[in-house]
């Protein structure tokens, strides 16, 4: 009834999922996942992919609907895993104390900055530009 193909098709069907397995050490996996899995959840939402992590064999399985989503996800993961210093972190002031300021990053982490006046002065300079 059916005939077999003599070689695999060169292109995947549009509806076929793209799956790729990446290998990273446990430390890099922790950085990629982030506190409370906020970073990996953010990547999943941004690129509409599914990421499964296995710490035992130090792998991440990415399942994407398109080649573009898969490549963008891999690039984002590579930036996070390498600890790219050029990556911008957006912060907002969450509390002002007598001794300093508490700022919250876009990943939800809070940091205390001792020199409140310097920090607020720098923020005002950025806003006036």
Mapped to the 3 state alphabet, what secondary structure does 12-79 carry? Answer: CCCCCCEEEEEECCHHHHHHHHCHHHHHHHHHHHHHCCEEEEECCCCEEEEEECCHHHHHHHHHHHHH
| Tens-digit pLDDT profile for residues 105-114 | 666 666 666 5
d(CA 70, CA 68): 5
Give residue for tokens 């972190």: 89
pLDDT for 30: 86
In percent, the amount of the chain with pLDDT more than 90 equals 20
Distance of CA 93 to the CA centre of its chain: 23
| Tens-digit pLDDT profile for residues 26-74 | 888 888 888 788 888 888 988 999 999 998 899 999 999 988 999 999 9
Do 49 and 55 meet the contact criterion of CB atoms below 8 Å apart?
Answer: no
């Amino acid at each position: 009834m059916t005939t077999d193909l003599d070689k695999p098709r060169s292109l995947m069907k549009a509806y076929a999922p793209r799956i790729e397995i990446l290998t990273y050490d446990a430390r890099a996996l922790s950085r990629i996942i982030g506190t409370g899995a906020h970073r990996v959840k953010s990547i999943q939402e941004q690129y509409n992919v599914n990421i499964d992590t296995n710490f035992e064999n130090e792998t991440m399985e990415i399942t994407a609907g398109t080649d573009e989503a898969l490549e963008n996800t891999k690039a984002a993961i590579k930036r996070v895993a390498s600890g790219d210093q050029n990556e911008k972190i957006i912060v907002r002031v969450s509390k002002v104390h007598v001794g300093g300021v508490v700022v919250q990053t876009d990943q939800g982490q809070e940091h205390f900055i001792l020199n409140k006046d310097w920090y607020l002065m720098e923020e005002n300079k950025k806003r006036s530009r």
